[in-house]
Amino acid sequence: MTARTLILATRNQGKVRELREPLSRFGFDVQSLPEDFPEIEENGATFEENALIKARAVASALGAAAAADDSGLEVDALGGSPGVYSARYSEDWPEREGESKDERNNRKLLAKLEGVPFEERTARFRCAMAFVLPEGEEFVVSGAWEGHIGFEKAGENGFGYDPLFIDPELQLTGAQLSREAKMARSHRGKAVAEMLAEIERRKLC
C-alpha cells in the first residue's frame, strides 16, 4: 500500500460514497474495508469510543492510515435514543418480507414517535470521526446536524434515517438533498471537514 492509502473502516457504501470524494481531493487513495476483513465489535459506550475501536483495528491489521466514523440519531422525545444503537435499533422488531434494515429502523422510529407533535420531534445526527496511523498517532473529531423527525419518509437519496430527518432551514429531508448539499450541512460533512483540518494542522498528509 502507498503512503497515501487511507482505508475507510466501513462496508456501508453510502458512507463510502459520501467520504471518498472529499478525502480524495485531499490527496488520499481512499479504499473501503476489504470484504474479508473480520467484523469489528463496537462495544464502546460513545460514538467516539466506537470510532476509535474501528480505526485502530484497521490501521493495525492492514498497516495503513485508517478513518472510521460512528454516527447515529438522537431523538429528544425518546431520551436520546437510538443513539449508539442507531444501526441496530430494530433488531428486536419482527422483519417484514422484502424490508431492509434501514426500512425496519425507520418503521420502529415512527411507531415510537406516534402521537408526538412536530415541535417535540427535535433530533440530531451525531458523528465522531477517528483517524489512526499504524505508527500510533490518532485523533477524534465530531460534528452534529440538528433537525426534526418527520411523520413519513420523503426522498430517494441518502441512507439510514435520512428519509425522516428534516433540515430546519431547508425544510427538506436528508434523503431529498443532493450528496453535495448533504455533505455541506450534515454531521458527517462537518466531522470530515474537522478531520481534514486536523490532518493538515498535524502535517499528516
Q: Where are the domains of the chain?
A: 5-201
User: What is the average per-residue pLDDT within 63-81?
Assistant: 95
Share of the chain above pLDDT 70, in %: 98
Q: How would residue 205 be classed by pLDDT, with cut points 50, 70 and 90? A: low
Cross-strand bridge partners of residue 148: 122, 166
Q: What pLDDT shows up at residue 27?
A: 81
User: What is the average per-residue pLDDT within 126-132?
Assistant: 96
Tell me the pLDDT tens digit for each residue of 11-45. Answer: 877 778 777 887 887 788 888 898 889 988 888 89
Q: What pLDDT shows up at residue 133?
A: 92
Q: What pLDDT shows up at residue 96?
A: 93
CATH topology of domain 5-201: Maf protein (3.90.950)
User: What is the average per-residue pLDDT within 142-154?
Assistant: 97
Q: Are strands 29-32 and 172-173 parallel, antiparallel or unpaired?
A: unpaired
Q: Is 69 a catalytic residue?
A: no
Tell me the pLDDT tens digit for each residue of 96-112. Answer: 999 999 999 999 999 99
CB-based burial label for 20 (10 Å; 0-12, 13-18, 19+): middle
Cα gap 3→39, rounded to integer Å: 25
3-state class of 146 per DSSP?
strand
Tell me the pLDDT tens digit for each residue of 150-200. Answer: 999 999 988 899 999 999 999 999 999 998 898 889 998 899 999 989 988
* Closest among 142, 110, 4 to 64, alpha carbons compared: 4
Query: For residue 6, is it left (φ>0), alpha (ψ between -120 and 50) or beta?
Result: beta
Q: What pLDDT shows up at residue 126?
A: 97
Largest CA distance in the chain: 54
Q: How many CB atoms lie within 10 A of CB 17?
A: 12
The residue annotated as part of the active site, out of 70, 92, 102, 162, is: 70
